[in-house]
Amino acid sequence: MDNLNDLIEYENENTRLDFKSSQYTKPQYASLLKDVMAMANASISGDRHIIIGVKLNSDGTRTITGIAEPLVDSATYQQLIQSNIEPELDIDYTPVHFRGLTLGVIRIYNCTNQPYMMLKNFDSTESKARLNVGDSWIRKGSTQRRMMRQDFEKIFDSRTSVGPIHIKFDSDDKSEKIAVQTAGEYTLPSQKAKESILDILRKREELARRLEDEKGTDNFTLLNALQNFPRISVSRSYEDRDTVELYENLRDVEDTYEEDDLFTIYEKHAVKINVVIHNEGDSYIDDASIQLFIPKINGLLVADKVYDDPEKAVTGPFGMRVPEIKVNIMSYPEVSELNDYILVNEHIGVLRHGIPVRAFETPLRIHFPNSLAGEIINIECKLFAKQLRTPIVTNLYVSLLK
């Protein structure tokens, strides 16, 4: 808001700023289309503004008149722009209060897909103004004119001439090499459960043999025999289940503890890895996406999602476990297999110049087994974007420590 106040009070009209004394009504819709299109095509970065309620005087001064009537609905202007200009262009129209007066501000933003031009013919019967399909305007300083061949060439040249772009690990030193620990020694929950079931079954077999040997002796009593029957317990631990049920549990133990095992592998014994992309050029990079090629190696695993902690699950209907809701579950990158590689895909969008951007909203989970200690894993990264004729390829290296 302070920035808008400064624009209103101190700035002169320029490539990114225009003043109008009154709102665009239906007779001026052709002018609105032309003004917005011209600003969107301007050779600048960042937002553009048309401030309504400011009258420029012939001596160079300005008069803040404000807007007396209700503001036009922002959706009206947005619909007009979207229906008549291509490609899609973002605008909004909002009020701003300045010295007790209400002004309107048209903000034109995300102008990253130039050139913008008329999608179809537009005739204004009230003003007899006409814009033809393919018409395109550009703003330079405080004036606007039809776009010429050199304007189009400049736009298309900018799409294929980008500055340096670096891809590095999201580490403290933002390096192309990192050193991480391997998974360490651990036992999966399914294995622990399996060992527990087998131990109980062994004890029961031993008890059964002893009872068989004691039959007909003074040591065989009803009390001893009853000890072989399952006990009834609310907790339903393995000790409280009969032998038939235990064998069923043993058969299904890996399925039963699948979520527990995956959580242990990827949340307790995996490394969380992200990469940073730094556009050091002078212009935005549009429609960026990245691919990581991780070699398939025995024991090296990449999670396909973030796995919830089963211990934090809520018991739902019919005793089913319902995992806790996580907001980042949909932001995890896409993981698949391609020949000898594990392929990671992520769409990033716009890469603003001078601002490092993390490739993944949620870091990758990569499990490095102890058998890889001492090895260096090469991860190939490919960055694609509208302005890149060929992808940028960078190799990142993970050094594995025991």
Per-residue pLDDT tens, the chain, 402 aa: give them: 558 888 998 889 999 999 999 999 999 999 999 999 999 999 988 899 999 999 988 887 889 999 999 999 999 999 999 999 999 999 999 999 999 999 999 999 989 889 999 999 998 777 678 899 999 999 999 999 999 999 998 888 776 667 789 999 999 888 999 999 999 999 999 999 898 889 888 888 888 888 877 765 555 454 455 454 444 333 467 777 877 888 888 898 888 889 999 999 999 999 999 999 999 887 788 889 999 999 999 999 999 999 999 887 655 554 455 555 554 455 899 999 999 999 999 999 999 888 899 999 999 999 999 999 999 999 999 999 888 878 999 999 999 998
**CA pair distance 157, 166, nearest whole angstrom:** 21
What the block records as the tokens of 257 is 């503890």
165-186+270-401: what CATH class? mainly beta
What the block records as the tokens of 154 is 């400049």
**CA pair distance 135, 34, nearest whole angstrom:** 9
**CA pair distance 153, 142, nearest whole angstrom:** 22
Q: Cα–Cα distances in Å, from 169 out to 111, 182, 354?
A: 30, 18, 17
2-160: what CATH class? alpha beta
**Reported pTM:** 0.57
**CA pair distance 358, 120, nearest whole angstrom:** 39
Domain definitions of the chain by residue range: 2-160, 165-186+270-401, 189-256
